[in-house]
Chain A
Amino acid sequence: MVRRARDARHGRLASERLRRPPARAAAFTLALLLALTVQLTRLDSSLASFINVLAAGPQALGAASLPAPAGGASANGGCAGGSEKTNVSVSWSASAAVDANGNALVNGYTVLRSTSSGGSYSSAGTTGIATSFTDVNPSGAATPQVYVGNSGEAAKTVHAINTSTNAGTSITTGIVGSEPNGIAVTPEGTKLVVAEGASHQVQIIAAATNTVAATVAVPEVAGVKSRPDAVAVTPNGLTAYVVDGANKRVYPLTISSAALGTAIAVGAQGDPGAILVTPNGEKAYVANFAAHNVSAISTATNTVTATVTIGAGETGKPIALAATPNSAHVYVADQGNAQIDDIATASNTVSKAITVGSLVDANVAAGGDPDILAVTPDGSKLYAASYTGHGVADIATATDTVTATVALFESATANPNALALTPNGCQLYVHDHAHNVVDVVTVSSDAVPAHPAVGATGDPTGMSSSPDSTKVYVANQAGPSVSVIATATNTVSATLAEAAVGKSPCAVLATPSPYFYKLQASHGGWLSPLTAAIGYQLGWKQGGWQ
């Protein structure tokens, strides 16, 4: 029974075993796959793809940074295209840098123009690699005005003439005496500073409104009342230097605030007259007529840094000044010795005295302010009017020698006593006091092609060219009138009457038509920083009346 029972159990177990093999096979297969997976994983990790990595370089790469053009300068564009045109030439230095391909890094320049230094600039033109550009007959500036000083009348006025319409506006200035004595304009033509000797004051006129914006009293010294005789403005337009001829002083005047600075003593025996500020703005020179010297003032410190003796043995009578555009030379008209002294501004010494004819000017005796020196815009020539020498000396500034004496219309008897250069440097206008004519001199040849008649005998000599060189205005005190000479034809195109110019026009001064330029270098679409503004003030003169 037991065996049967076992057999029976065995048979049951056997039958169960017969049913169980598939499960065991699965387990077996699973174990096998597990082992295989482990093996393959191990194999994969130990046998990753063969790779090889290598580096090349390093390669240092630097992008260019375009340099702004350097050494920018503006100059008159010359007489090409007609003397009536005033072109502006702008030049600068080339960059020596090359780009990554070995070519010139800068391959173009853009010249941008504005009519105010802080205004909006737009392209006036482009160049390739050329480093100069001529802005032909630029336009867009405000219509310049010509200011006419009236003297010797009860009503002291400055008249402002619109050069486009010839309409005049009267501006009352001063209160007594023969004034105004001097007037200067800021480089951008926005303000005029008028020295009024008999009124012991300076007035600032706003050109935009032709009204007196400020009146500044010049103090008396030890009981001696001041006599503002002359004024000059710095090229940055910030400061006017006012000469007090009575007290031998020069005052810096801050134009914006109308604040008079500390007095600068000049001269020794009084009567400082003409004053100029060098074009670079670094120095002011004052002609001390009776002191026989010229004072050099540092505009940085407002102190006299040198006193330059004119003539020997107190013979010098410095009466007029003119500076070269590069500020290297200041020429002094020595009325006492009939010579022109060349002051080297670097050393403040007279480097040469140039003999010319008599520089005596009939207007000096009447308290005028003759302007008998004129330097061409390119600085190559100095013209000096020789009153009793009956001519105008053409002096080469390179050698300080008289290269020619201009033969005026009435060459034997002419009394040239005032000069006016057109801003384009093409023509020189010479007032012949004896014959009531204005001789026209072609600067390039010193020829005199015309001599239009103006005014009457005894007229003062104020003359001034319009900024665009198209007109020359001549003050005829005896008229009273102002003659307008068209420079294209050298004929009198208009005579402005008393209503427009006042009762006693003695001097004229045209406001500038300033143009300002900025430069930008380019390489394709890349642009350098803009340069600082380069100004070209057509017709601007730092001195007083012309």
Chain B
Amino acid sequence: MSNRTHIPEAPERSGNRRKIALSVALILGALGALIGGAFATFTASVQAGPQAITSGTVKLAVGPVNDAATGAANIAAGDTIAREADLNSTGGTIANKEITLKFAASPTSLLDSDPTNGLQVSIQACSEAWKRTVVGSPPPPFTYTCTPGATAVKINGAATASVSALESAAGVLTPLNSLGAGGKDFLVFTLTLPAAAPGDLGKVAACSGSSGGTSATEDLQGCSSTLTYTFQATQRNGIEQ
């Protein structure tokens, strides 16, 4: 028979074991958090609070005026097509970091795909609702006036942008009241076909040629495009609450 002698563990050894046990517990805790409630454990808990936490909402809408669906026919070089499309974040509770505009065209043509000779867009804002006048009979065209005075809304920091560029990548619109929760923007989007857009049907067939061409190589007459405006609002950066 062996006579085993109990040798008490040294205090350091006991502490290390506790640390290892704690690390394992933490890892298990982390894994447990990952796994969620799949592996319930016997716990004892206390509660503090309750602390009501609700997520905010980013809300962007078009209106009250939306003329963006009103097309235009017989556009000629130098012509402008102005359409009011208001933005508002009424009902939203979170301010926005940015609001962007992106175009999509279907069908597409040189009107929208030619960055140089195709349509260019600019945006004007009014602090109140625009006064719209119907010029055509039947409408369009429309003309809009802003009593307090219109201000420019920049697209990626520029006064104008080509529709083609905004088909490739969304442009950030600034400044906009809609960036703030509940803000409203009364906007008029003006599409302009450059006066220098080439078109000589005696030389080039209608709506043919290469982008950025001349009257000897490109003709924008007879082109048809249907544009969809896509606005995207993105919430502000996270803050400490």
Contact = CB atoms under 8 A, between A and B. Distances in A.
B74 A97 contact: yes
A530 B200 CA distance: 10
Interface residues of B, number: 84
B113 interface: no
A4 interface: no
A62 B201 contact: no
Interface string A343-357: 000000000000000
Given A98-B136, A527-B201, 5 more contacts: A61-B71, A61-B111, A63-B111, A101-B135, A524-B78
B72 interface: yes
A529 B58 contact: no
Given A17-B12, A51-B235, A100-B141, A523 B71 contact: no
23 contacts: A24-B19, A25-B19, A35-B34, A51-B58, A55-B229, A56-B68, A56-B69, A56-B229, A57-B68, A58-B69, A59-B69, A60-B225, A60-B226, A61-B226, A63-B74, A63-B221, A68-B201, A98-B136, A102-B135, A524-B78, A525-B199, A528-B202, A529-B201
B206 A61 contact: no
B231 A56 contact: yes
Contacts of A10: 7, 10
Given A24-B20, A101-B135, A64 B69 contact: no
A528 B69 contact: no
Q: Which 9 A-B pairs have the closest CB atoms?
A: A35-B30, A60-B71, A526-B199, A65-B222, A56-B68, A64-B74, A50-B235, A56-B229, A28-B23
Tell me which of A27, A38, A63 has the highest count of chain B C-beta atoms within 10 A of its own C-beta. A63
A14 to B, nearest CB: 6
A18 B12 CA distance: 8
Contact of A61 (B19, B27, B58, B224): B224
Given A6-B7, A52-B60, A100 B30 contact: no
Contacts of A31: 23, 26-27, 30
A419 B228 CA distance: 72
Given A38-B34, A66-B199, A525-B199, A100 B69 contact: no
Given A53-B231, A54-B60, A528-B202, A59 B74 contact: no
A14 B30 contact: no
B77 A523 contact: yes
B232 to A, nearest CB: 5
Contacts of B165: none
A375 B137 CA distance: 47
Interface of A: 3, 6, 10, 14, 17-18, 20-21, 24-25, 27-28, 31-32, 34-36, 38-39, 42, 49-66, 68, 97-102, 105, 520, 523-530
B23 A65 contact: no
A527 B31 contact: no
Given A52-B58, A526-B77, A101 B196 contact: no
Contacts of A60: 71-73, 224-226
B66 interface: yes
Interface string B67-110: 01111111111111101010000001010010000000010010
Contacts of A520: 202
Nearest to B206: A65
